[in-house]
């Protein structure tokens, strides 16, 4: 999969109170980038902790479920657009189908 944009992840882990997210986000990025996912079923088989929600959004638990990562999956083009990364409290404040 092609991941757009890694910079969003880097900016997140460079925040002073988010440094613990760096290695888990890098690991997720490497795994997602190497994955060949054509549909939600294939994603679930590779990423067991992922939740597929409406509007082609996928939610990943990061760093032992400390953070949530939301991507917009475009299956036909094998692209994931990073839409949100944050804590559970920050995640609860958004509409995951609209980010």
What CATH number did the domain enclosing 72 receive? 3.30.2310
Angle at 52 between CA 80 and CA 62, to 5 degrees: 70
In a domain, 99, yes or no: no
Residues 6 or more apart from 66 whose CB is under 8 A from it?
20, 21, 87, 88
Find the domain containing 56 and state its range. Answer: 2-92
In a domain, 98, yes or no: no
In a domain, 61, yes or no: yes
29: tokens are 């990025």
Number of domains in the chain: 1
C-beta separation of 92 from 66 below 8 A: no
pLDDT at 49: 86
Instruction: Output the tens digit of pLDDT for each of the chain's 99 residues.
Output: 999 989 999 999 999 999 999 999 999 999 999 998 889 999 989 998 899 999 999 999 999 899 999 999 999 999 999 999 999 999 999 999 889
Q: What share of the chain is helix, strand, coil (3-state, %, to 5)?
A: 40, 30, 30
In a domain, 65, yes or no: yes
Residues 6 or more apart from 30 whose CB is under 8 A from it?
none
């Amino acid at each position: 999969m092609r991941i757009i944009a890694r910079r969003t992840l880097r900016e997140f882990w460079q925040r002073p109170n988010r440094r613990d997210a760096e290695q888990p986000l890098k690991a997720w990025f490497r795994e997602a980038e190497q994955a060949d996912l054509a549909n939600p079923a294939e994603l679930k088989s590779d990423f067991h902790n992922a939740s597929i929600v409406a509007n082609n959004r996928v939610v990943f638990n990061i760093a032992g479920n400390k953070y949530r990562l939301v991507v917009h999956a475009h299956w036909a083009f094998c692209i994931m657009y990073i839409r949100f990364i944050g804590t559970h409290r920050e995640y609860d404040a958004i509409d995951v189908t609209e980010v």
